[in-house]
């Protein structure tokens, strides 16, 4: 599946990053050297710390890592949004949180409340999990209406909504339907996985989602991306954002290979 992104509407900056990664270390020259490539790559990454046992000091450390690297955002559980927002104030790194996470089986009102509280606490991105069972049962209106309600809320706060489909639980037809519903409900991104389900991101799922949403939404690959090769593979398949808990080690791998 090498080169899938050529036939898909991937942003030019992402295509440029993929080309550079595939031609390391020479590819870094296009970005002015290793530092430039690393900064550009970091800007495509959501630095993620959602494990239930995470402690405040770990959140603070993750915020420091995100600020140093210049990651697009840090993703934390709702109880840590205020802490992350205070820590990252003025750094340019966005704070993202989750709603209905990780099962998606909360009532719409609960997801809305979680999102609203997160936005009030300082989040500027929300990753919500759809009601997977409703999608599988064919209740498309329910799925779309829930996404729309959270999209309207987020956009009212000038925030981004990402919609997690949990692809490992869906057939390809269900993934396509879910992605179309997300676009119709005005979501900003569709996302492959929570990272807590039976499987994480795959090239095939990323390419499928990109083929469905086209230029109408971003595609976030998340779950099990732990190496530079895996990250590059997701970008090449059509991802425009990467959700990783191994962000720092992947960035260090990129820096090491680009500086040879």
Could you list the active site residues? 127, 191, 220
Count of residues making up the chain: 260
The answer to whether 27 touches 21, Cβ cutoff 8 Å, is yes
Q: Are 232 and 201 in contact (CB under 8 A)?
A: no
Q: Which helix (H) or strand (E) holds 119?
A: helix 108-121
Which DSSP category does 10 fall into? -
Residues in Cβ contact with 190 at an 8 Å cutoff, skipping those fewer than 6 apart: 162, 163, 165, 178, 179, 182, 183, 209, 212, 213, 217, 218, 219, 220
Give the tokens for residue 148. Answer: 């729309």
CB crowding 161-190: b at 16 or more within 10 Å, else e: bbbbbbbbbbeeebbbbbbbbbbebbbbbb
Find out whether 38 and 257 touch, Cβ atoms under 8 Å: no
CA distances from 189 to 55, 68, 147 (A): 29, 25, 11
3-class secondary structure, 102: coil
Position of tokens 């205070």? 86
């Amino acid at each position: 599946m090498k080169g899938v992104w050529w036939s898909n509407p991937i942003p030019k900056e992402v295509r440029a990053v993929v080309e550079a990664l595939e031609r390391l270390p020479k590819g870094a020259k296009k970005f002015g050297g290793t530092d430039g490539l690393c900064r550009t790559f970091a800007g495509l990454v959501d630095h993620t710390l959602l494990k239930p046992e995470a402690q405040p000091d770990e959140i603070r450390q993750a915020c420091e890592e995100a600020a140093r690297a210049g990651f697009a955002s840090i993703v934390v559980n709702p109880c840590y949004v205020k802490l992350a927002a205070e820590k990252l104030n003025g750094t340019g790194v966005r704070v993202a949180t989750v709603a209905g996470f990780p099962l998606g089986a909360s009532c719409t009102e609960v997801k809305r409340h979680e999102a609203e509280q997160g936005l009030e606490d300082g989040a500027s991105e929300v990753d919500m999990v759809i009601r997977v069972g409703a999608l599988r049962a064919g209740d498309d209106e329910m799925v779309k209406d829930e996404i729309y309600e959270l999209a309207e809320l987020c956009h009212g706060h000038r925030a981004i909504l990402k919609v997690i489909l949990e692809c490992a639980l869906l057939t390809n037809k269900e993934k396509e339907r879910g992605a179309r519903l997300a676009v119709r409900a005005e979501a900003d991104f569709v996302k492959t996985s929570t990272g807590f389900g039976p499987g994480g991101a795959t090239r095939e799922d990323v390419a499928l989602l990109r083929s469905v949403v086209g230029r109408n939404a971003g595609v976030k690959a998340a779950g099990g991306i732990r190496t530079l090769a895996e990250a590059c593979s997701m970008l090449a398949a059509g991802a425009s954002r990467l959700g990783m808990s191994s962000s720092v080690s992947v960035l260090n791998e990129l820096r090491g290979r680009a500086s040879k």
